[in-house]
Amino acid sequence: MSVWTKDNTFRSPAPDVDIPNVSFAEYMFSKCDKYQDLPAVTDFSSGRSYTYSLLKASAIKLASALTKLGYKKGDVIAVFSVNMPEYSILMIAAASIGVIITPANPAYTAGELANQLEHSKAQAVFTIPQLLPVLQEALSLNSTVKNNIKDKFIFGEGEGCKPVQSLLNDDGKSMPDVDIDVNNDILVLPYSSGTTGLPKGVMLTHRNCISNLLQFSSVTDIKETEDVMLGILPFYHIYGMMPVQFGCLHRGCHLVTLPKFDPAEFMKALQEYKISQLHVVPPIVLFMAKHPMVDQFDLSSLRFVVSGAAPLGEGLSKGFMDRTKAPIYQGYGLTETSPVVNIDYAPGKTGSTGPIVPNSTGKICDIETGKTLGVGEEGEYCVKGPQVMKGYLDNQQATDAMIDKDGWLHTGDIGYVDESGVLVIEDRLKELIKYKGFQVPPAELEALLLTHPNVQDAAVIGIADPEAGELPKAYIVPKSDSKLTSQCVTEFIQERVSHYKRLRGGVQFVDAIPKSPSGKILRRVLKDVAV
């Protein structure tokens, strides 16, 4: 079947899949009933484990306890935590009562956390003891947030917090009858800066997420009930949250969670649990391809590895496969597309991200004229499908800038598609910087830099780096007569942002920031002269 149509749009070579009209919790509960006593999710370091039956029973208890505390459909609850089995329980529990989960990056500073809590209007936060001081600082920084947050729930114990364990001891009898409109009700609200500006709340509906799980599962070689997968990518990010966490759980596979990337723990988990499907980002691929430690571990259980969130070079892919003997496939997605848009599922074409997933249509557009281009022509990748977000929370303007009136989502990525429908991403049109797959919104750093008393103007771009993909670099126009040094600027940022947003690409002082007549920073001009 040809993937290209007469109007120069393209589809998947694979057939469409049926998407059931059910809520996310109904969907996951039916899977729990199907897989019952099989292991669902296990914490690697403690061995704490839940079968599918226990996962469902725990989610019902938690949902019932939240209901008794007054939480109801449409309320927003934040999760500020590392990966652990209870993250999955909470997500299913919240979904079952129509509560929206907004996942926050556990690397966040108090200021960053406060921004998300305020914007999402979260009414409660689930956290862990190690992150409680950050949460407390966030509440003390922002009185709106402090007033909004009714409860702090903790996995473990902490002052002023309700232990999650007490909720899990509920009798499970207060589950309300909740009517979920799967096409409109929001399941999760992750934050992404999208093509431009500050992080925005991405409204993903129940249908968006269920569709995407089925779209990519139908074309990936998942061995139902047999695969063992590692939850190393953070669940707060859409890649770890949906394709990894629920991509595993909706097929009866076993998910082993790790709280963070520690090289030795990671390798031990791969070996001990005989991980068969591994989902990672390019820096982990690089570690596995190059680090001497890797040779001490048996990786023969790995059937295949998937990499995404940032470009994976052909050379690295080959080096990885030579060493581990496991094929590596690349996927491509965005928070705004729940997230998978393309996934490679046959060995061979390294460096590409494979064809578009089923039930979706893609096109490549000329970046100047918007005209739809043909086979092999380079332009902006646009996509349509049931996984495309409902929009950004309270930001119609940003939503309209990303999804046009015909329903095409403009990814802000530049690439081409070959005769067989395979996508190669080549560049990024949008301003987003990706450090090791993490989003670094330049607008956020620029706004912070402008609060420095000695900074007149500032711009931040990503410069290429072989290990991290990109490093944020700042161009600064200092105020006249100020004795600003690059170290001052670097430290100023370091004190205020998560570690991955630091100005690792350096600071350069310039006379002026190149701008368009309308005042937009000409990032391309800076990129062309970046050293």
Q: Give the one residue of 339, 354, 385, 472 binding ligand 4UW; rule: CB under 6 A.
A: 339
340 counts as binding ligand 4UW under rule CB under 6 A: yes
Residue 203, helix vs strand vs coil: strand
Q: How far apart are CA 238 and CA 217, in angstroms?
A: 16
Closest CB to ligand 4UW among residues 58, 411? 411
When binding is defined by CB under 6 A, the residue of 42, 324, 352, 353 that contacts ligand 4UW is 353
For the purposes of burial, counting CB atoms within 10 Å of the CB of 184, is it exposed (0-12), middle (13-18) or buried (19 or more)?
exposed
* Binding range to ligand 4UW, per CB under 6 A, among 3-11, 110-118, 177-185, 325-333: 325-333
Q: Which two tokens stand for residue 169?
A: 């001891």
Neighbours of 371 (CB within 10 A): 12
Contact 192, 240 (CB under 8 A): no
Q: Does 335 bind ligand 4UW (CB under 6 A)?
A: yes
Q: In angstroms, what CA-CA distances link 271 with 207, 228, 252, 274?
A: 36, 11, 21, 5
- Does 243 contact ligand 4UW by CB under 6 A? yes
Q: Which of residues 424-453 bind ligand 4UW (CB under 6 A)?
A: 425, 428, 434, 439
* CA distances from residue 251 to 87, 96, 134, 299, 329 in whole angstroms, order as listed: 18, 19, 36, 23, 20
Phi-psi region of 172 (alpha: psi -120 to 50; beta: other; left: phi over 0): left
Q: Which of 59, 411, 455, 500 binds ligand 4UW (CB under 6 A)?
A: 411
Tell me if 306 contacts ligand 4UW by CB under 6 A: yes
Q: Does 308 bind ligand 4UW (CB under 6 A)?
A: yes
Say whether residue 333 binds ligand 4UW (CB under 6 A). Answer: yes
What is d(CA 39, CA 53) in angstroms, rounded to the nearest whole number? 9
- Residue span binding ligand 4UW (CB under 6 A) among the ranges 12-20, 43-51, 305-313, 398-406: 305-313
Q: Are 289 and 319 in contact (CB under 8 A)?
A: yes
Among 238, 253, 364, 440, binds ligand 4UW (CB under 6 A): 238
Tell me how far, at minimum, the Cβ of 332 lies from ligand 4UW, in Å: 4
Contact string 263-282 vs ligand 4UW (x = CB under 6 A): --------------------
Note whether 331 binds ligand 4UW by CB under 6 A.
Answer: yes
Note whether 102 binds ligand 4UW by CB under 6 A.
Answer: no
DSSP 8-state code for residue 479 = P
Q: Which of 310, 433, 440, 474 binds ligand 4UW (CB under 6 A)?
A: 310
DSSP string, 78-119: EEE----HHHHHHHHHHHHTTPEEEEE-TT--HHHHHHHHHH
Measured from the CB atom, is 96 or 387 closer to ligand 4UW?
387
User: Could you tell me which of 283, 324, 315, 298 has the C-alpha nearest to residue 465?
Assistant: 283
Residues that bind ligand 4UW (CB under 6 A): 192, 238-239, 243, 306, 308-311, 330-335, 339-340, 343, 353, 411-413, 425, 428, 434, 439
